[in-house]
Amino acid sequence: MSVDQTGELRNWEVLRTLLSDKDKFIFSTHLQPDADGVGSELALARYLTSIGKTVHILNPSPLRVNLEFLPSDNEIQVYDPTEHANLVAESDVFIAFDIGHYDRLMELGKDLQSNDITKVSIDHHPGDKSQFDITYDFPSASSTGVLIYDLINSIDGQVNSRSDIAIPIYSAMMSDTGNFRFNNTDPETLLAAANLVSAGVKPYELYVYLYEDLNTPGRLQVIQKLLSELKYECDGRLAWSIIDFDDISSLGAVPDDMNSLSDFIRSIKGVEIGISITKMSGKKVDVSFRSKGKIPVNTVAQSFGGGGHAFAAGCHVDGNLNEAATSIVNMTIEAIHKWDSNA
């Protein structure tokens, strides 16, 4: 049993027993996976494989370009109901990492409902996990990655001696703390990061992969479009922009170039909340919220069926871009006024 920096108890005994007694595992994370989900599933998969277990990682959607350095060939697959049905049926345990809400498993989640397999959630997000048999959800943790660090250390401490495990865990923690800048960067996370650096992790190399290589020529076209559409509300405290991918795909942009736009908007001086409202061909409107740490935005996302952290959240909305933007912006303005009145 371990205790995090907030005093929250983490008793891994049930999961440790499950990992020891069972042999065949299916891992997954949420739609449009980030480094926290991918790094966490890879680290635990590599540990289990090294002690003779069989692990298949089946994610709902492909990796972003900046995460492709993490897995080796065929270590992660995109779930295909036809191709992977027997694989899932023959496995003993399913573990979901960092999903926030069961629905973010998409088709895999639906298929698991009719499958007699033990379902486990390891996460640091609040959300509906009623479909799981076992939940290890610790909202006070900085990331799912730090939970996997704690779990593997509670078994035999191999995290600090294996670079193949250390690199994905460090990437997971770096991603969900904004490269250790956000207020969720607690002593537990910094101590884990220090140990992983001692194990051989090169922080700048991982930073380049996760952050600097995002700025492709297509990405710059997206940023240019974002800036041309940027609007301000509440005396500049709220900034938002809408982008239809169909308008810029002919300029060389690819879907990966649409990620992390709300982070860019939030970085503008004087902006407290940044919102990117985007639409891919044939998809729902995608909304991403980022707050500088005062005004919660997850309540707005929850109003539209989404969720996330207090200061980093998202949702999907039916309808066209302008209709979605009107609804989202109006509700965010209400949230700002409510926060002001209670401050």
Domain ranges of the chain: 2-210, 217-342
Instruction: Give CA–CA dist 149/170, Å, rounded.
Output: 9
> pLDDT in tens for each of the 343 residues of the chain?
565 555 567 999 999 999 999 999 999 999 889 999 999 999 999 999 999 999 999 999 999 888 999 999 899 999 999 999 999 999 999 999 999 889 889 999 999 998 999 999 999 987 788 999 999 999 999 999 999 999 999 998 767 788 999 999 999 999 999 899 888 999 999 999 999 999 889 999 999 999 877 777 888 899 999 999 999 999 999 999 999 999 888 888 888 888 889 999 999 999 999 999 999 888 899 999 999 989 999 999 999 988 888 888 899 999 889 999 999 999 999 999 999 998 7
- Return phi, psi of residue 335, to 5°: -65, -40
pLDDT at 4: 56
Contact, 222 vs 253, CB < 8 A? Answer: yes
pLDDT at 341: 92
Six-digit token pair at 196? 């992983």
Beta sheet of 307-309, edge-to-edge order: 231-233, 238-244, 273-279, 285-291, 312-317, 307-309
Residue 4 CA from chain centroid, whole number: 21
Q: Residue 179 half-sphere exposure, CB side, CA atoms within 13 Å?
A: 11
Contact, 93 vs 22, CB < 8 A? Answer: yes
> How far is residue 289 from each of residues 111, 321, 324, measured CA to CA in Å?
30, 16, 14
Beta strands at 312-317 and 307-309: parallel, antiparallel or unpaired = antiparallel
Instruction: Give CA–CA dist 210/187, Å, rounded.
Output: 23
pLDDT at 2: 61
Instruction: Give CA–CA dist 148/325, Å, rounded.
Output: 37
pLDDT at 281: 86
Six-digit token pair at 181? 């800048």
The torsion defined by the Cα of 243, 247, 253 and 259, in degrees rounded to 10, comes to 10
Residue 235 CA from chain centroid, whole number: 31
Q: How many CB atoms lie within 10 A of CB 115?
A: 14
Instruction: Give CA–CA dist 255/222, Å, rounded.
Output: 10
User: Which ranges of the chain would DSSP assign to H, the alpha helix?
Assistant: 13-21, 35-50, 81-89, 107-113, 144-155, 163-176, 187-198, 203-210, 217-229, 245-248, 261-266, 298-303, 321-342
Six-digit token pair at 293? 């740490």
User: Strand ranges (DSSP E) for 38-133?
Assistant: 54-59, 76-78, 93-97, 118-123
**Topology classification of domain 217-342:** Diaminopimelate Epimerase; Chain A, domain 1 (3.10.310)
Contact, 199 vs 162, CB < 8 A? Answer: yes
Decide which of 3.40.50.300, 3.40.50.1980, 3.90.1640.10, 3.40.50.12280 is the CATH code for 2-210.
3.90.1640.10
**Spatial CA neighbour of 80 closest among 111, 34, 113, 35:** 111
Instruction: Give CA–CA dist 238/165, Å, rounded.
Output: 40
**Spatial CA neighbour of 58 closest among 117, 135, 124, 141:** 117
pLDDT at 8: 63
